[in-house]
């Protein structure tokens, strides 16, 4: 699709069971920011059944208008019906930008839509910017995070991107007014792809150390079995696993199987937090591939700080209780 006469930023409002995926709100926040630079409008697109009540939420989080396709054929999510609806809407409304979350659904849907309307798409963006001409610059990691590329889509519209959940900030919701428009859907009743037999959601179980997205590890500096509980509690509120260096195992605070490093496990979580860990090499080799590393140690010269993204030189006892409380408040909100 060519770029003339396109405008507006579209956000795909992903939902399952009439529950919005968090990334939707984050995308609205970002879209609002981008629109502010360019005086554009933010439109949320929501597909499903019985989802009209969510439209107001989308306005409150930053959409100027919402397109609602409420139809039994759109529930539950299926790739082909969703792609067909997006094709119709894009051809009718000509958005300048279309953003989706890099979720299981978005990662499957966005490329299909982009191919259908023959436009460009960038994947798993961690940042979005507008250049001086108002073109969308899409910042994407590649090569396991070792390379950061900036992608543009100069001649095709819409400019499409999927965005990593958690990388953008939602706005604080406020009561806002906007247009909520219902769309008529006329899909053929065959050739709509695979049939959904069953959808099963399960509470995420405690994952083994090597597979956990978050690892909170404690070292000798934790000091006592009593304080070790804070390490476990932090891991708990983050939905992560507890790791350890050798001394806490010797002290009986932690189990042998929780040990990270040369003689233990190698972990590569999204977030590693090290509490009271000095950072000797045989521990570091087991965690230095973690995506993000936050460490807390009262010793300003701790070696672990060499392998950290975020450094806190402080007694963890002053930090952890407050941190646990804050996170718990957020998660339960």
Partner 1 sequence: MNRIIVCMKPVPDPQHWNKVSMDHETQTLKREGIPTIINPLDKHALEAALSIRDAHGGEVLLLSMAPPFVTPTLREGLAMGADRAILLSDPVFAGSDTLATAHILAAGCRWIGEFDLVLCGNMTIDGSTAQVGSQLAELLDLPSVMHVIDLHRKEDHLLRITQKIEHGYVRLEAELPLVISVRKELNKPRYTPFTGILAAESKEINMLSNEELHIDTGLIGLEGSPTKMAGLELRRFKREKERVEGSPEEIVQVLVDKIHRYGII
Partner 2 sequence: MDFQFSEREEMLRKAVREFAENEIPPKMEAMEETGDFPTELLKPMAEVGITGIITPTEYGGVGLGYLARTIVLEELGRVCGAMPMALQVHHMGCAVINDFGTDAQKEKYLVPLAKGETMGCVAVTDPTGGSDVVGMKSSAELKGDKYILSGRKCFITNSHTSNYWVVIAKTAEGAKGLSAFIVDKDAPGAKLGRKENKFGLRGANTGELAFDNCEIPKENLLGQEGGGLAVAIKTISETGRTGMAATALGILTAAYEEAGKFANERVLYGKPISALQAIQFYMAEIYTQLEICRLLCYRASWLKDQGMRCDNEGALAKYYTCEAAVNAAKKAIEIHGSYGIMKEYAVQRLLRDAVVTVPSGGTAEIAKVVLARAALAPFKK
What is the Cα 60 distance to its own chain's centre?
A: 20
> Could you tell me which stretch among 97-105, 241-249, 250-258, 276-284 binds partner 1 (CB under 8 A)?
97-105
Binding residue for partner 1 (CB under 8 A) from 63, 121, 259, 284? 121
> Could you tell me which stretch among 34-42, 45-53, 174-182, 258-266 binds partner 2 (CB under 8 A)?
258-266
What would the two tokens of residue 256 be?
A: 């042998």
Inter-residue contact 110 to 122 (CB < 8 Å): no
Query: Of 17 and 263, which has the nearer Cβ to partner 2?
Result: 263
Task: Find tokens 């010797």 and name the residue.
Answer: 250
Instruction: Please report whether residue 263 would count as binding partner 2 according to CB under 8 A.
Output: yes
Phi, psi of 278 (to 5 degrees): -80, -35
Helix (H, G, I), strand (E, B) or coil at 82: helix
- Per CB under 8 A, which of residues 165..204 are in contact with partner 1? 165-167, 169, 193-204
Q: How far apart are CA 287 and CA 11, in angstroms?
A: 36
- Size, binding site for partner 2 by CB under 8 A: 6
Which partner, partner 2, partner 1, none, binds residue 282 by CB below 5 to 8 Å per kind?
partner 2
Instruction: Please report whether residue 238 would count as binding partner 1 according to CB under 8 A.
Output: yes
Q: How far apart are CA 43 and CA 308, in angstroms?
A: 39
Query: Of 161 and 304, which has the nearer Cβ to partner 2?
Result: 304
Binding residue for partner 2 (CB under 8 A) from 285, 294, 311, 324? 285
Tally Cβ neighbours within 10 Å of residue 279: 21
Helix (H, G, I), strand (E, B) or coil at 318: helix
Q: How far apart are CA 105 and CA 97, in angstroms?
A: 19
Q: How far apart are CA 127 and CA 122, in angstroms?
A: 11
Instruction: Please report whether residue 249 would count as binding partner 2 according to CB under 8 A.
Output: no
Contact map string, positions 266 to 305, toward partner 1, x by CB under 8 A: ----xx-------------------xxxx----------x
Which partner, partner 1, partner 2, none, binds residue 263 by CB below 5 to 8 Å per kind?
partner 2
The dihedral of CA 100, 104, 109, 112: what is its sign?
Answer: positive
Binding residue for partner 1 (CB under 8 A) from 154, 206, 208, 257? 154
Query: Of 24 and 307, which has the nearer Cβ to partner 2?
Result: 307
Binding residue for partner 2 (CB under 8 A) from 52, 124, 282, 317? 282
322 contacts: CB under 8 Å, gap ≥ 6: none
Q: Which residues bind partner 2 (CB under 8 A)?
A: 261-263, 281-282, 285
């Amino acid at each position: 699709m060519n770029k003339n006469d396109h405008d507006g930023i579209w956000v795909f409002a992903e939902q399952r069971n009439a529950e919005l995926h968090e990334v939707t709100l984050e995308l609205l926040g970002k879209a609002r920011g981008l629109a502010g630079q360019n005086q554009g409008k933010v439109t949320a697109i929501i597909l499903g059944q019985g989802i009209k009540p969510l439209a107001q939420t989308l306005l409150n989080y930053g959409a100027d208008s919402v397109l609602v396709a409420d139809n039994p054929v759109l529930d539950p999510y299926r790739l082909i019906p969703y792609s067909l609806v997006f094709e119709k809407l894009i051809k009718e409304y000509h958005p300048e930008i279309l953003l989706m979350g890099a979720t299981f659904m978005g990662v499957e849907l966005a490329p299909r839509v982009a191919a259908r309307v023959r436009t460009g798409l960038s994947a798993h963006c961690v940042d979005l910017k507008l250049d001086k001409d108002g073109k969308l610059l899409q910042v994407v990691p590649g090569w396991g995070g070792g390379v950061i590329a900036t992608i543009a889509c100069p001649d095709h519209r819409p400019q499409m991107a999927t965005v990593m959940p958690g990388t953008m900030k939602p706005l604080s919701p406020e009561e806002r007014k906007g247009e909520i428009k219902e769309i008529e859907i006329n899909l053929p009743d065959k050739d709509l792809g695979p049939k959904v037999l069953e959808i099963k959601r399960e509470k995420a179980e405690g994952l083994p150390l090597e597979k956990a997205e978050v690892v909170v590890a404690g070292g000798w500096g934790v000091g006592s079995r009593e304080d070790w509980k804070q390490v476990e509690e932090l891991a708990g509120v983050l939905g992560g696993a507890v790791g350890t260096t050798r001394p806490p195992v010797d002290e009986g605070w932690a189990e042998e199987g929780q040990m990270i490093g040369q003689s233990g496990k190698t972990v590569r979580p999204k977030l590693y937090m090290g509490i009271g860990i000095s950072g000797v090499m045989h521990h570091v080799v087991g965690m230095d591939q973690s995506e993000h590393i936050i460490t807390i140690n009262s010793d300003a010269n701790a070696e672990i700080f060499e392998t950290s993204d975020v450094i806190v030189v402080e007694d963890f006892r002053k930090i952890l209780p407050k941190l646990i409380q804050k996170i718990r408040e957020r998660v339960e909100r």
